[in-house]
Structure 1
Amino acid sequence: MIPWLDGIIPHLKVLHIAALALWCGGLFALPLMLARHDPAIGQADYARIRQATHYGYTLLVTPSAVIAIASGTLLIFLRDVFVAWMFAKLVVVALLVAFHGWVGHTLVTVAETEGAHQTPAPLGPTLILLAPVLAILLLVLAKPELGEIPVPGWLREPRGAQLPFDVPRR
């Protein structure tokens, strides 16, 4: 490993954890804010809560997600963490990304569609989000030995064709 990269890794971990905390915290807060989208609260308050959710999503939560994913990806390659628990974590992170997309879709639907909107009650999304967040914490902190990822045999055997690129050997 390149010596100066060893000094970057702790700072990159702090950046990753901070961005992840902002991202997950925002994903917990946004459904609560969406539940406040009710035109009956008055035009000024309704406009303020719509702006707060829009700017929170676009200026805080989404950039935090991008930073968390980018710094995490960089850490995987710098630390050479190609193990089963990491791949399981990446699957769970994909669930966070899907939830993030659902929140964005709901925000756009509320903001762009005319008529009355029925935003989801915050309890359901909060419980749904709790599962991947806890799974990520469990996988990262416990680093369980998951063994090999089960894949079909045909994925493990060469098919007699040459790849269009060279595969590095260890």
Structure 2
Amino acid sequence: MRLDAGERYGMIVAIKFLHIAALCLWCAGLIGLPLVLARHQANDDQSEYARLRVMTHRAYTGIVTPAAVIAIVMGTALVFLRGLFVPWMFAKLVGVGVLVLLHAWIGHVTLIAGERQGNYDPPRGWPAMTVTIATSATVAILLLVLSKPILSDQLAPEWLMRPQDQPLPVDEVPI
């Protein structure tokens, strides 16, 4: 089935809307969850600990993670629909990779906080560091998308782009 120009434009607008909405939720979660997790204290009573634990778990699994998946899927669809195989897009994907790593780490901290009541001592300073990284990556992504800078096709050093004429470090290439 072939779409006419109007239908294609409408589909791109809808996908872009979903992408931006999901990205807003994802980034807000990456900034907010560490601040909520920092409120966990080893000396909290059981009801306070359970309340914070359930809230962080549900936010991570019910809002932040689905938003991340939707943002990535819709972003990937936009790359292919619009043919955005340009250097600034690859630089943006590095920022998205930072957000994915941060997302995984926050999930790990959320899991540890839920399994170690009484033994959980949140790392000092990690909420501020996490918020700084999430904000920096989000701002970098936003600047790349809005400015669409002209970057050189040669982002990698020249020696990395040249064959080295050396054998592979394995005896047999897997099939």
TM-score range relative to shorter protein: 0.7 to 0.9
Cα distance in 1, alignment partners of residues 118 and 61 from structure 2: 24
Task: Tell me the equivalent position of 2:75.
Answer: 72
Task: Tell me the equivalent position of 2:40.
Answer: 37
Cα distance in 1, alignment partners of residues 145 and 155 from structure 2: 21
Counterpart mapping for 1:59-138 below 5 A: 59-113=62-116, 115-120=118-123, 121=125, 122-138=127-143
Stretch of structure 1 that moved more, 32-41 or 96-105: 32-41
Question: Counterpart amino acid of 2:9?
Answer: D
Cα distance in 1, alignment partners of residues 133 and 161 from structure 2: 34
Stretch of structure 1 that moved more, 105-114 or 70-79: 105-114
Q: Does 1:13 align with 2:16?
A: yes
1:114 CA displacement? 5.6
Gaps of 5+ in 2: 164-175
Identity percentage of aligned residues: 48
CA RMSD of aligned residues (A): 1.6
Question: Counterpart amino acid of 1:90?
Answer: L
Q: Does 1:143 align with 2:151?
A: no
Aligned residue pair count = 155
Q: TM-score, normalised by structure 2?
A: 0.83
1:84 CA displacement? 0.3
> Would the alpha carbon gap of residues 111 and 148 (structure 1) be closer, same or farther in structure 2, given more than 3 Å must change?
same
SS in 2 for 1:54: helix
